[in-house]
Chain A
Amino acid sequence: MTGFLSVIRRDLRLAFAGGGDVLTLLLFFIIVGAIVPFAVGPDQELLSRIAPGVVWIAAFLSMLLGLDRLFRPDLEDGTLALYRLADLPLSAVIAAKVIVQWLTSALPLIVASPFLAVILTMDLDTFWRTVLSLLLGTPALAAFGAFGAAVTVAIRRGGLLAPILIAPLCVPILIFGIGVIAPLGGPGQGTAAMLFLAALSLMALALTPFAAALAIAWGRSRAPP
């Protein structure tokens, strides 16, 4: 457990120490949201109708954008090789990294979402539902993202490949995430969507670290262990 916590502590310190990656992602999230009115016109009614979708797309894109920094720096400075030799199973290390990824690339977006809600004229009820659906859905995005990053880390120029591989797998998250905000097909469906979203997040968090660890271990060694 101490190893798990120290991986979290190390990655958090690295994320906030230098480079300002967190701030860059946050800025990207806000700019994507703010650019939409230029594309669809400043019609308040239309904007408030599509606002939850815009917030979700912005969050989705910024989380995909941050994928490549998940394992690549560790691969380049040799930390990943050390992780593989450590007492802590590689899947636990990856679970810790997923948690850090969520804390540094999803939580700031949720904190910043009131700004987008204001400029896209979201009403208060929709805003709270959006925050709830982001809280429930982003862990699954982070977990799938970690899997995508693990699959492509062995490729030298794999930066663009991970988002392409992961985006189709994330469709259910988007569908249920929007389903929480704008219930389709009558009352009760919003709750159903919320439960599905939570189930997806839990399942993704529980299973993807193992798949990601397998991908990293087998991508590095010539002969499978």
Chain B
Amino acid sequence: MSIDTTPKMNWWNRLAHPGQFVQWTRPLIWPLVALTALLFAAGLYFAFFNSPADYQMGDTVRIMYVHVPTAWLSQFVYGTMAVSALGTLVWRHPMADVSMKAAAPLGAAFTAMALFTGSLWGRPTWGTFWEWDGRMTSTLILLFIYLGIVALWRAFDDQLKAARIVAIFTLVGAVNVPIIKFSVDWWSTLHQPASVFTADGPRMPGSILTPLFVMFFAFTFLFITLQLVAMHTEVKRRRVMTLERKAARGDAS
């Protein structure tokens, strides 16, 4: 009796094949684009025309509808990267590499956007573009970590080797981010405490919460769409590189 050692072809293994992955997820892109556009249209309508100006901050409160979702994504994308890094290290799933690589620049962009809108909002309300407040500082450091990871990806020629090393760095960073957050909070704090998810319900009126939640989902779906497109691009880029290498060796068929 022989033991069957061939891997079972379940959907998880099939997904590991880059071509299969692209083929399976390509039909998702256009619905995702449509959904994102719809959510943005609704969110922007609510944000600009159907929500009140704050009695203290006036119209600047509308910056929140971009600021809060991007700030949330700055952490969510890191979570995506950390899970993908686990996927690379533990299961060596080929698409985890690709997902990790696609997420890094997106995370950097969302973090930069959160910082930018935050400083635009801080000018009229706090009277300064930048304050060394705990949450702003830890977001800035998170941006540096994202940019470091992007630089690390670019420094390697061999992308498979890069994936394993970036995965280790991403996980060490994931362990460090809470420590950084804690230390920076200990150092200086000015930001308002959490005001949406509190024990006794949100401390905001519904007229502001509705656009906030719609924009929140709009930005999250924007990330999912961009992530998927970036993964497809990366798969194609790798294929082109392989073909180029084959052509250079002169054994392209």
Contacts and interface: CB of A to CB of B under 8 A. Distances in A.
17 contacts: A151-B152, A152-B152, A154-B156, A155-B155, A155-B156, A161-B148, A164-B148, A164-B151, A165-B169, A168-B145, A169-B173, A175-B186, A176-B183, A208-B172, A215-B165, A219-B161, A219-B164
Given A151-B152, A168-B141, A222-B161, A196 B183 contact: yes
A214 interface: yes
Interface string B172-198: 110110011011101100000000000
A110 interface: no
A119 B94 CA distance: 57
B179 A172 contact: yes
By size class, the interface of chain A is 20 to 34
Contacts of B92: 224
Interface residues of B, number: 28
B126 interface: no
Contacts of A172: 176, 179-180, 182-184
Interface string A199-225: 010000001100100110011001010
A184 B144 contact: no
A168 B179 contact: no
B168 interface: yes
Contact of B172 (A167, A171, A211, A219): A211
Given A169-B172, A171-B180, A215-B165, A184 B152 contact: no
Interface of A: 147, 151-152, 154-155, 157-158, 161, 164-165, 167-169, 171-172, 175-176, 179, 184, 196, 200, 207-208, 211, 214-215, 218-219, 222, 224
A172 B173 CA distance: 13
B165 A154 contact: yes
Contacts of B168: 151, 211, 214-215, 218
A151 B145 contact: no
A165 B152 contact: yes
A161 B151 contact: yes
Contacts of A158: 155
Contacts of A222: 160-161
Given A158-B155, A169-B173, A179-B187, A224 B148 contact: no
B169 A154 contact: no
B70 to A, nearest CB: 19
Given A164-B148, A169-B173, A200-B179, A157 B155 contact: yes
Given A164-B147, A168-B141, A218-B161, 14 more contacts: A151-B168, A154-B156, A161-B148, A164-B144, A164-B148, A168-B145, A169-B173, A171-B180, A172-B183, A179-B186, A211-B168, A214-B168, A218-B164, A222-B160
A161 B168 CA distance: 16
Contacts of B164: 218-219, 224
Contacts of A200: 179
B155 A168 contact: no
A168 B156 contact: no
A218 B168 CA distance: 10
Residue of A157, A184, A200, A219 with most partner-chain B CB within 10 A? A219
A164 B151 CA distance: 9
